[in-house]
Structures are given as structure tokens and as C-alpha cells.
Structure 1
Amino acid sequence: MSQKILRTLIEQFDRVVYLLRKQTGIQFSRNLLRKMLETYRAEKGYLYIGATLLNVPWIFAYMSNSQSIVGQYLREDSDPDLILAIQDRAPNAMISDDRQICRKTKDFLSLAVCFIHHRESKDRDDGGLMESMKMVVSTDPDRWVHQKVIPFDHQEFQRLVQIHGEKARRQMDLVEMAKEVLGDLLS
């Protein structure tokens, strides 16, 4: 199963990134994505007991540990609560006109995102599996700026994986990056 999870993460990495960007509101630069891949590799995220072929995008984020988001851009459709929380609760942070997370002053700025509390439960209506995790933005481990529960949308991920041919708008540079970092783990 771990080999199938790795293969899916590598081959669908652009779609994984698309879903994470959409759900978090954070644009995740190529440099940050590479760091996340390296952390996922070091943590052996593909061996996590809760990892399945349906939850690849979210377990990738979950197993990438805390990552700095200073210098990252927020999407135009970002949660307004995230923007307000950064502006109000991170005293040395600001959001620039082009939506980049920056320092207000020359003082050091620590602002990171991590994903915690992976939860599985049964859907009360149809008995299917529901999964979620919590996204936390913090200035240090004890000072949370923003938190949001992120539901796993298994169907959307599967729908994206099924898009082929001309309809698929792929970012193969992201797939290549995943292959560079994780490819040698495939047997």
C-alpha cells in the first residue's frame, strides 16, 4: 500500500497541490512545496497508519510538519478570517497589496502553518468515512493565530485523478519535483 500511496502522490502531485491551495488559501511556492516533500520523505509519511489512496493530498500536508509561510502569497479566494487573523494576531506580520505575507518591521517574523488532529468518523447520513484535519497558523507552538478544520474531499480528489487528455490542465513541473524528491523510494 505504501508504494501505491507514493506513486499516487508523485504522479498526482500537481492535483494534490491544487487541492491544498484551494482549501488553505495559501499559494505554497515551489520552494515551500519542495521542503514539504523533503519533510514528508524524512517522516516517512507514506507509512502513516492513517494514509490511504483516498486521502493522499491531506496526509501529505499532515506529515509535512510545521512550515514557515513568511513570504508566501495568499490566494484571492483565501478565507478572510485567515487574513484578518494574520493582521490582528501576528504583531510583526502584514499582508502586502499583492497578498504576500511579509514582515512589518525589520524584526524577526515567525509565522508557520501545520496540520494536526487527523480525525476519521462515520457519516451519520450514509455511514461513509469522513476525515478531517486542523490547519493551524501560529507565531510559535503556543501562540495560535488561526485555526480551521479542513474536511477531506475524497470525491474531488478522485474526480481530478480521472481527468485525462486535453481537459487535464496539468503542472508537470510539480510532478517532476515530486519525482526528484520521492522517486527513488519507488520499487
Structure 2
Amino acid sequence: MNVFALINNPGEPIPLTEDEYYRRTNRKEPYVQSVNGVLRSYAICPSCKNPTVMVNRTATETRSGSFYAKHYKGNVRGVANYDEGEYLNCDLTNSSNMDDRVRRPPSQRRKIDEVKQALVMAFDLVVSFIETDVGVRFVDRVLEDMLDDFAKNKGYEYKAINLYNLPYAFAYMTESKDIFGCSVSDEVAEKINALSEGFEAKRYGRFIYVRRKGGSRSKIRLLFFGHAESMRDGGTESITVRIVEIPPGESVDTAKFLYEKKIILDGAKFYNYYMKRKRRVDMAHSRVG
């Protein structure tokens, strides 16, 4: 996982980097302990509140991969005690990825409803996160299609989808979308103008829109992939967005590559934004009704 929590606030996810971990823990006990002569670094999982151990910490281990945290199946003195039941229901276990399409059991109805409610109540926030990371501002037609895909798949039931990754998981569970008429970032526009035969990205006022060149009957589509691959061997969790052009009469197999970007999933940012919004909405309800 790429988040951690501290003893004084075990439910607040903090983005996990070595610098942030060192700054928040001061590299002192009980977070850093010597176990059988080896220094180990610990924290808390913000989802299940079980102890976690840091992997690939440069100060104590050979650098063989990215820095991340994994659940520690045992009690850690001064940090947290291990609870197997909470671990098995944890949203941040590595046992499931978005490509598995494994559904939650009926016993986890509360988590299913939690995801569904968050998507509905904070859909504008979900969309804002996607658009910022992808570099595309979607028109309503595209968003409606994405919602239809998610609803038909009952994506809110999938084990891999939770409040930590909801914007990215929502997008990932949708099929490829036609982005003709959408506005794009400078970076995406540059690639379209350099590589596309049937489309151009043209500025109108403050925004740059995807426009079809005269006589073109090509399609320009956006899709997401690569989540399972990113999670192999404890890698940094990410998804990849790709934009392709499909000439008329051609199959998707011959689509022309225009743009690609890997998006690192920030497991803390959306969760903290959403919970802050939820607290303030609840505050208003309690005082205004």
C-alpha cells in the first residue's frame, strides 16, 4: 500500500514516501524497532488499523523495488495489535486488483453501500480527480456513458474498489470513450496535433478542444488499463490512460497511438478530501436540517 497512519490518528491516511514517513515518525520507537538484530519500520493501516511494515527502506535494505507498506501479521509493541478479522475485510490488502472483477460477499453490504453513496454524493469530486490526472475535461455525454458502464457492471460491488481509489477505479471500470468535443490539457493537445491524422486540438478562449479535421471520419478514444501489472511484486499501484485514433473501417487492433500516461494512485488524497466534505455536509445538516 502507498499510505500509512500514525498512532494518534490511525484512521487518517498519509501518502507514503520515505521523506514523509521519516518526518512523521521522527525515525524513533515505537515506529522503528530492532527485531532479532534487524531494524524494522512500522506504521498502521488506516483502513483496518492493523500494523504495517515498510518494505525497501533504503537505510536498512537493499534497494530492489519501490518503497511501500504491507500488513504485518503480528502484534507490534507500542504501535498496534493484529486483528485477523479486520485484515480479511481491509480495503488496502493486495489480494485484489481492478482486473480481477471479484465481487464483495453479501456480508460486506455496508462497504458496497459506502462506495455507491460516495460516488453519488461526491461525483463532481470524483470527476475532478480523474480530469486533473488524465488531462481531459469530459463533456456530459462521456460522463453519462461512464456512469452507465459502471452501473451495468455494478462496479460498486467489486472488492478492489474503495474510498481510497474511487476516482481511478470508477474510470478503470468503464469501456473506451470517444473524446471528440472534450477539452484537453496542453500536454495532450501537443500529442494530438503532432500525431493525429484526423483530429486537431484547437484553443477557444481558455480551453483547448478536440476537433475533427475536415473530411475525417476517424474516431478518437480514451481507455484505461494496467492496474494488475502495476501491483506485481509490490510495485507502486497505478493505472495507465491511453488515447488512440481509429481510422474509418479499421479495427481497434490497428488503432494509432497518440498519448499515454501512467497515473500513480494516491490512496490518501481523495479519501481525505471526501471525508472532509462529508464532515462539513453532516455539520450543515445537524444545524440547518
Q: TM-score range by the shorter chain?
A: 0.7 to 0.9
Once the two structures are aligned, what percentage of the paired residues are identical? Answer: 25
Q: Where does the alignment leave 5 or more consecutive residues of structure 1 unmatched? A: 169-187
Task: Name whichever structure is richer in helix by fraction.
Answer: 1
Match of 2:157 among 47, 65, 69: 47
2:173 maps to a residue whose letter is: M
Coordinate RMSD, CA, aligned: 2.4
Q: Specify the alignment match of 2:264 in structure 1.
A: 151
Q: Where does the alignment leave 5 or more consecutive residues of structure 2 unmatched? A: 1-110, 247-251, 282-289
Match of 2:195 among 89, 92, 117: 89
TM-score, normalization by structure 2: 0.50
Q: Specify the alignment match of 1:113 in structure 2.
A: 222
SS at match of 1:85: helix
Using the TM superposition, give the Cα deviation of residue 44 of structure 1 relative to its aligned residue in structure 2, in angstroms: 2.3
Q: 1:110-149 counterparts in 2 under 5 A?
A: 110-119=219-228, 121=231, 130-140=236-246, 141-142=252-253, 143-149=256-262
Using the TM superposition, give the Cα deviation of residue 109 of structure 1 relative to its aligned residue in structure 2, in angstroms: 2.6
Please give the alpha-carbon distance, in whole angstroms, between the structure 1 residues aligned to 2:233 and 2:276: 27
- Contact map agreement 2:137 2:183 (CA 8 A) in 1: yes
Please give the alpha-carbon distance, in whole angstroms, between the structure 1 residues aligned to 2:239 and 2:232: 15
Using the TM superposition, give the Cα deviation of residue 79 of structure 1 relative to its aligned residue in structure 2, in angstroms: 5.2
TM-score, normalization by structure 1: 0.76
- Contact map agreement 2:202 2:209 (CA 8 A) in 1: yes
1:104 maps to a residue whose letter is: K
Q: Specify the alignment match of 1:177 in structure 2.
A: none
Using the TM superposition, give the Cα deviation of residue 84 of structure 1 relative to its aligned residue in structure 2, in angstroms: 2.1
Question: Which of structures 1 and 2 has the bigger CA Rg?
Answer: 2
Using the TM superposition, give the Cα deviation of residue 117 of structure 1 relative to its aligned residue in structure 2, in angstroms: 1.1
Q: Specify the alignment match of 1:38 in structure 2.
A: 148
Please give the alpha-carbon distance, in whole angstroms, between the structure 2 residues aligned to 1:52 and 1:123: 22
2:123 maps to a residue whose letter is: F
- Contact map agreement 2:163 2:271 (CA 8 A) in 1: no
Q: Give the structure, 1 or 2, with the largest relative contact order (CA under 8 Å, sep 6 or more).
A: 1
| CA offset digits 1:19-67 (Å, max 9, x no partner) | 0111011111122111110111112222334212211110100011100
Please give the alpha-carbon distance, in whole angstroms, between the structure 1 residues aligned to 2:167 and 2:212: 30
- Contact map agreement 1:70 1:109 (CA 8 A) in 2: no
Match of 1:104 among 201, 213, 222: 213
